[in-house]
Amino acid sequence: MRKWGSACLAGLLIILTLAACSGGSNNASGVVELEFFQNKPEAKGSFDKLVAKFNEQHPNIHVSQVNPPDAETVLKTRVVKDDIPDIIGLGATDTYSLLAQSEIFLNLTNDPLLQNIDPKYVQMLTDVTGMQEVTGVPFALNASGVIYNKDIFQKLGLSVPKTWDELIATAKKAKEADVIPFYFTYKDDWQTNLPFNDMGGTLVGIDFYKERRENKTTFQSAYQEVAKKQLELLNYGHGDNFGKNYADGNRAFGNGESAMYIQGSWAISEIRKVNPDINLGFFPLPGSNDEAQNKLTAGVDTLLAISNQTEHPEEAKQFIAFLLQPENSQQYIDEQNLFSSVDGVQQKDESVSGLLPYFEQGKIVDFVDHYIPSAVQLNPTVQAFLQNKDINAFLGTLDKEWDKVAARRAS
């Protein structure tokens, strides 16, 4: 499976092999300088606090955070130029997979840094890369599902749905009461991908992508039910599903304009900026009528990797170990409304309490788009499908674009 993306990285590997090593260095005062590059602009403030705390506690090490716009593109460019940051924070996506396969990260298999990390989150990294080696440390997790307004649910006598039919029945009851069931924000194409992720994980699963890499299956054959159900959800929107964007949705939902909002945990803080007192709940989108089959979509939002060219790997590990300390992990997930990969560290926000049993029981599945190359252009493809409603054309396009990427990577 690892070979699937290796050929396209041949040139990159040559550059990395021939070029001189870069990395953190000592300044005139003898202080080790480390660059921490991370890709989440919304997390910059939280990491600034933790970096400052680390620097204060470690006078012989100075960490500088770098968080540029379009960070993943910047990172890829820097890798090609052999200017690799000492420590890198990014999601467990196809970008991470390609970089890991290019062997720019330190091998952390069996490293003590992983000692207190739940193994299922480490498995997510090896699943997405197709590698046996562990080249990152899961730090924080996010979740996707249905945020709901508890006050509206109580007023309408609604209960949390556990199956697909119950979800549709809940939406119908809201609609009959002249309440918008779901506030869709499909002007932003990435928003159209949220139900695709949630139902893809539950109804199809991650193993599909391992088989797709080996050309043993197709979207056309496996994703019919996902596509049909995503179209069905459109019957319970607000009439301008493709005219509202993510920011519009956060404002509208914060103002109580809909009962439900298919969204990620990252939206909670934005909704509360609109209405700090809103009474929120959160449940997994139940794509199946078999309650036991339904899982929570949750993935590695941030992993921490170390450049294998850094001059100071031990100091880099010290910084990661610091971030993994329960107190610091708790601070980060509390500020970011995320979940921790560290054993014993729990998200205590009441709005997501309904998700905790899924984490505790291991009833989670990774975001399926983590396995889809960015060149496939999933988001605009899903958006176009929801507008033209042609299921076969949609799935055929995904197969065609996947095969194009696979052919380029194999050449």
Euclidean distance between CA atoms 366 and 299, whole angstroms: 5
Ordered by start, the domain boundaries in the chain are: 2-142+299-369, 144-297+371-410
74-78 contacts at long range (C-beta below 8 A, 24 or more positions apart): 75/37, 75/39, 75/99
Residue 190 near residue 360, CB atoms below 8 Å: no
Strand partners, 195: none
Digit-coded pLDDT (tens) for 177-199: 999 999 999 999 999 999 999 99
Q: What torsion, rounded to 10 degrees, do the Cα atoms 337, 282, 196, 298 define?
A: 50
Q: How far apart are CA 257 and CA 108, in angstroms?
A: 47
Task: State pLDDT tens for residues 260-289.
Answer: 999 999 999 899 999 999 999 999 999 999
Can you tell me whether residue 325 is helix, strand or coil?
Answer: coil
What local confidence, expressed as pLDDT, does residue 106 receive? 97
Q: How far apart are CA 276 and CA 254, in angstroms?
A: 9
**CATH says 144-297+371-410 is which class?**
alpha beta
Q: Distances in Å between the alpha carbon of 371 and those of 221, 228, 230, 243?
A: 18, 22, 20, 29
Q: In 3D, which of 299, 185, 352 has the Cα closest to residue 252? A: 185
| Burial per residue of 345-375, b for 16 or more beta-carbon CB atoms within 10 angstroms, e otherwise | bebebebbebbeebbeeebbbbbbbbbbbee
d(CA 175, CA 194): 22
CA distance 225 to 304: 36
pLDDT given at position 6: 44
Average pLDDT over residues 117-132: 94
pLDDT digits (tens, 9 = 90+) for 155-179: 999 999 999 999 999 999 999 999 9
Best CA proximity match to 256, nearest among 174, 191, 188, 198: 174
Q: How far apart are CA 174 and CA 407, in angstroms?
A: 47
C-alpha–C-alpha distance, residues 3 and 89, integer Å = 24
Task: Please provide the DSSP assignment of 56-78 as one string.
Answer: HH-TTEEEEEE--TTHHHHHHHH
* Residue 144 scores a pLDDT above 50: yes
Query: Is the fold of 2-142+299-369 the same as that of 144-297+371-410?
Result: yes
Q: pTM of the entire structure?
A: 0.87
Residues 408 and 8: beta-carbon distance below 8 Å:
yes
How is domain 2-142+299-369 classified at the architecture level of CATH? 3-Layer(aba) Sandwich (3.40)
Assign 3-class secondary structure to 334-394: HHHCCEECECCCCCCCHHHHHHHHHHHCCCEECCHHHHCCHHHCHHHHHHHHHHHCCHHHH
pLDDT tens digits, 6-40? 444 544 444 444 333 444 556 667 899 999 999 99
Residue 43 corresponds to which tokens in the numbers above? 């997390």
